[in-house]
Amino acid sequence: MRRAFLFPGQGAQTVGMGKDIYEKYEEAKKVYDEATRISGIDVKKICFEGPEEELNKTENTQIAMLTTSLAILEVLKAQGVEADIATGLSLGEYGALICSGIISFEDGIKLIQKRGYYMGNMLPKEEYSMAAVIGLESSKIEEICNKLQEEGKFVVPANYNCSVQTAISGENEAIDEAIELLKQAGAKRAIKLKTSGPFHTIKLQQAKEAYEKELENIEFNLLPENEQKVKVIKNLDGTYYKKGDNIKEILAKHIISPVRFDKAIELMKKEQVDEYIEIGPGKVLTGFIKKDNKEAKTYNISSVETLESAKRDGLFWHN
């Protein structure tokens, strides 16, 4: 039996997330308290009390989401639940890297705090938006985006989520035009998302350059593949991190490059992963898995209730 841990990204956050886990498990409490100590931000307050507009600020969302996922991860580890593979969506990749030991907990918290700040505050002045495109192959979406780009309108694929869903990012008017063209091309749905920044596009070049300086201070622990207990799949290209990778360059480039979660799904299928555990709020990633792998066994651990439900379902019986 092969198992993968999945760490969600921005957009899955909710006020109150992690509160019951924090109150019940000492392992989770330590994670929140340490994240607060390292960052100087009251992570518990942002997660448990909000308000929503504070939690939804990118500089707060990223550290709040990562801390919540890592708190739940520690509870799972204490109960003997381990994985062979870990991956995440955008900021979720940091959960996977910490889980595997490639980045230390302290360095991971410091990095995500800076990453969230730069991505939230070093945005171009123009108005941008994102849209989810469902039921149209990515090659057709790329074709339509390229056509609009040739006309001087900025719109590009930003998240390749699974074979039937891709998110595009661009200038407001270009996104509106793309939505109409995508529907005409056969998309089942094309809907605007709440996210406003042009994340995972070249428009965040300034944030990438600032973040590169932060990465210079970090030590990474990339072991040879046969020694890496938990293998981590990169968002950049859907391949494993391996000894010799320039991880600083990869993580900086991550900010301006599309997320290839579709390729991560392909690799996990190829590796015959049969159990997927999404660690943190929401069911977004297991939803993508199910689109491309209907036979997959999936769990979403976000609360005491979902943890207990997974136990009843036998999650802890076959480690």
Mean pLDDT, residues 281-302: 96
Q: Which domains are delineated in the chain?
A: 3-122+203-317 (3.40.366.10), 128-196 (3.30.70.250)
- b/e burial code for range 137-174 (CB count within 10 A of at least 16 → b): ebebbeebbeebeeeebbbbbbbbbbebbbbbbbbeeb
- pLDDT above 80 for 317: no
Burial environment of residue 217 by CB neighbours within 10 A (0 to 12, 13 to 18, 19 or more)? exposed
146-168 pLDDT per residue, tens: 999 999 999 999 999 999 999 99
Separation of alpha carbons 34 and 38, rounded Å:
6
91 phi and psi angles, rounded to 5 deg = -60, -25
211-250 pLDDT per residue, tens: 999 999 999 998 887 788 999 999 999 999 999 999 999 9
165-219 pLDDT per residue, tens: 999 999 999 999 999 999 999 999 999 987 768 999 999 999 999 999 999 999 9
Here the tokens at position 66 are 């990562």
41-87 pLDDT per residue, tens: 999 999 999 999 999 999 999 999 999 999 999 999 999 999 999 99
- pLDDT above 70 for 318: no
Q: What pLDDT was estimated at residue 319?
A: 46
Separation of alpha carbons 165 and 260, rounded Å:
11
Q: What pLDDT was estimated at residue 228?
A: 87
CA geometry: angle 187, 171, 288, nearest 5 deg: 40
- pLDDT above 80 for 262: yes
128-146 pLDDT per residue, tens: 999 999 999 999 999 999 9
Catalytic residue of the set 138, 169, 200, 303: 200
Sheet of strand 128-134: strand arrangement: 189-192, 128-134, 165-171, 155-162, 259-260
200 has catalytic annotation? yes
264-286 pLDDT per residue, tens: 999 999 999 999 999 999 999 99
Mean pLDDT, residues 22-42: 98
Here the tokens at position 204 are 């965040």
90 has catalytic annotation? yes
Residue 240 pairs with which residues in a beta bridge?
233
Q: What pLDDT was estimated at residue 315?
A: 77
Sheet of strand 275-279: strand arrangement: 231-232, 85-88, 3-7, 275-279, 297-301
Catalytic residue of the set 69, 90, 169, 302: 90
Separation of alpha carbons 123 and 116, rounded Å:
12
